[in-house]
Amino acid sequence: MSTIVLPSKFNFGYHKNFTDQYGKALESAPSKAITLDFSNVEYLDSAALGMMVLLKKKADAQNTEVTIINAHGAALDVLKIANFQNLFSIK
Amino acid sequence: MPKVLSKPSCFCNGVPVSVRNKISDAVDFCTDVTEITDIVVIWISKWSVDFNLEVSHLRHSHTDIAILVLMESELESDILDALKAGVDECLPQAVSADMLNLKIKRLAASLNTYKELSQNKAKSNAVLERIRQEESFARHVYQKITGGALEQAKDYFSVQHSADGFCGDFIFEMSSPTGIRYVFLADAMGHGLAAALSIMPVIHVVKAMAHRSMPITTIVHEVNRRLNVELPDDRFVTLAGLEISPFSQMISLVNAGLPDICVLLKNGSLESCSSHCMPLGIAEGSAFSFEPYTFKIADVSRLFMFTDGLIEQENHTNETIGKEGLTQILMDYALLNKPWDDISILFDEHKGDMPLSDDVTLCAIDFSKFNIADPDSGNEQDSRNGTVTFNLEVKGDYLKTVDVPAFVSKFLYATDTNGKIAGKTFTAIAELYQNGLDHGVLNLNSDLKNDFSGFEEYLNKRDKALEALTNEDSVTLSLSCGSEEGIRASITDSGLGYDYSKVDPDKHSLSGRGIALVRQLSEHLEINDKGNQVSILLRDN
């Protein structure tokens, strides 16, 4: 399982870092699960939601499960508003 | 009467000398403000007890004169009584003129030395008083500057002794708006004012970053970078930092140069978290790396951290408390539930009359009493009257670099707007600003973000559009808050306007959900007819 620890501001500016990390995670053969750790995330914008959808599409194509952990506060609110609990397992 | 004293007044080594036949005359003479004398020679037949009071009076009213008594009586008891009464010198009348002259010269020299010492003492006292006043002002300013970080919660124990007027140890606690708690213990090299000043950059960085809920590792990295740049090469700060997150239910701990931090687990075992990185301010950012210690909050009973001054303080037999000794004491206190205040008494008993060799600080956290926010609970209702309004217009090239959401964050911080509404406000305005800039001013099409390569193309087009900005391009933010009004924000861009009715993303869309997100966060959202201004109202519910 690969864990991607996200920054306090998860927005467009984290695009390259994020795609690099999940790209490596999807390349590693044994990894059939990716965890997005939201412990530090205070804010995410719609671009971040878009990046997560892209990750979800790529992960589904490889039969890899994506889980969100430790989401809280405004970040959790945004995920719920966007109904991302229907796309990801949020723990 | 000795011939040498035939004049009622004369000078000896530049010192005025007056001669009187009665002590009462001497008192009257000295009380007369028109007369100046330093040595009074009183010529009497024999000592009388009545003179005791007169001499005492003379002594008290004129502390800077010397009294020499010349007595016809040669009785030792009379001479002794005179000296006991406070005269400086007492000679029998039969003394030679040379001897009397020598005695007066000695008294004059002694008096000059005394006056010189008195003047130097007065100067020293004046300097000390000025230093004391400056230190008092400096302490006042220092406390004001650092005060915001020092609003310590009372749910943990700390004790501190300063070896100097200013303390180079600093313990401070902060909470992020969302409820993450941070506790820091810093010990600047040395002690006194220089050490205290070294702590100030630490406070500033921690205050700013903790308010943004930054992870402890990021905060410590930034503190190290700032100290590395700002402190002289021979100065550094050791620091222990805790981050207690109610969301992850974890304690993250960093020890940069302090003695081992003791973590007592609920299963009874003791974990020692030794320093795992260099003191802050020495290594440059790239050479500074570490992994924090982590514990589940549920597993930890108590945590102790302290500065080296505590374990290195010597008693009167030059024995120190030592790391092992202190650990044992702390374990006893924890396991037997002894009152922590007794630790101070224990330390004072150990130190005795020995001076403090360094600043001393101990912090003990009992996690059964440490307040950790409930991540699901709301904040207290804001009961303040009035409103605060903030307007910001960013034009031209400044659109490339000005971090508008950072202004929003500072506004929320300055207005003490915390909790969910702060998060909602920041998210909504950051989203609207990004929309205003990217789609209004830069005229970028978000459909590009629908696949991976589109993201790259979007970024390239964005960079090119930013390079072509003119002074006519602008984004304006108006933001106001008040307890009754809620938070109102309006974002206006200089673009041609956008038809928001076209936006209808499904859950699998990679773009186009920004305005839908803001609509959900807001109690009310309004877009002007042109489509270049979005106004929102947010409330804490």
User: Which residues on A lie below 8 Å from B512 (Cβ)?
Assistant: 46
- Determine, for residues B427 and A50 on separate chains, whether the beta-carbon distance falls below 8 Å: no
Mean pLDDT for the stretch of residues B253-262: 92
Cβ contact A39–B455 (<8 Å):
no
Residue A72 contacts B, CB cutoff 8 Å: yes
Please report the pLDDT score of residue B378 as a whole number.
53
pLDDT for B72 equals 86
Mean pLDDT of the region A49-57: 86
Please tell me which of the candidates A8, A50, A72 has its beta carbon nearest to residue B375: A72
Across B325-359, b (16+ Cβ under 10 Å) vs e yields ebbebbbebbeeeeebeebeeebeebbeeeeeebb
Residue B101 · residue B68 · CB < 8 Å: no
Interface residue A65 vs chain B (CB under 8 A): no
More reliable by pLDDT, B116 or B6:
B116
- Strand, helix or coil for residue B301: strand
Report the share of chain B in percent with pLDDT over 90: 22
Beta strands in B307-427 (DSSP E): 360-366, 388-395
pLDDT digits (tens, 9 = 90+) for B321-348: 888 888 888 888 888 888 777 888 888 8
Structure confidence by residue, pLDDT tens digits, B94-146:
778 788 888 888 888 888 888 889 899 999 999 999 988 888 877 777 777 76
The tally of CA atoms less than 13 A away on the side-chain side of residue B17 is: 25
* Chain B residues near residue A73 by CB distance under 8 angstroms: 178, 247, 375, 420, 423
SS3 assignment for B69-133 = EEECCCCHHHHHHHHHHCCCEEEECCCCHHHHHHHHHHHHHHHHHHHHHHHHHHHHHHHHHHHHH
In angstroms, the CA B427 to CA B408 distance is 10
Separation between Cα atoms, residue B24 and residue B353, nearest integer Å: 50
Is B432 in CB contact (< 8 Å) with chain A?
A: no
**Residue A47 · residue B431 · CB < 8 Å:** no
Instruction: Give me the total of CB pairs closer than 8 Å, taking one residue from chain A and one from chain B.
Output: 103
Q: Which of A40, A47, A82 sits opposite B213 (nearest CB)?
A: A40
Find where tokens 């009622």 sit. B8
B306: closest CA of chain A, how far (Å): 28
CB contact under 8 A, A77 and B420: yes
Token duo for residue B8: 């009622």
In chain A, which residues have their Cβ closer than 8 Å to the Cβ of B451? 54
Q: What is the dihedral of CA B219, B224, B226, B232, to 10 degrees?
A: 160
Chain A residues with CB-CB distance to B405 below 8 A: 9, 43
B256/chain A closest Cα distance in angstroms: 22
Alpha-carbon Rg for chain B, nearest whole angstrom, is: 39
Domains annotated for chain A, with CATH where assigned, are: 2-90 (3.30.750.24)
pLDDT of residue B5: 40
Q: Give the whole-angstrom CA distance, residue A15 versus residue A47.
A: 9
Any idea how long chain B is?
Answer: 541
Question: Model confidence at B4, in pLDDT bands (50, 70, 90)?
Answer: very low
Q: Is residue A31's pLDDT more than 50?
A: yes
Out of A19, A57, A74, closest to residue B424 by CB: A74
Average pLDDT over residues B146-159: 66
Question: Does B163 or B150 have the greater pLDDT score?
Answer: B163
Q: Domains in chain B and their CATH numbers?
A: 3-117 (3.40.50.2300), 151-366 (3.60.40.10), 388-538 (3.30.565.10)
Record: contact B513-A83, CB cut-off 8 A: no
φ, ψ for residue B85 (rounded to 5)? -70, -15
pLDDT tens-digit readout, B357-381: 888 888 889 998 888 877 665 555 6
Q: What is the pairing mode between strands A65-69 and A33-37? A: parallel
| B216 in contact with A, Cβ within 8 Å | no
Contact B513 A57 (CB under 8 A): no
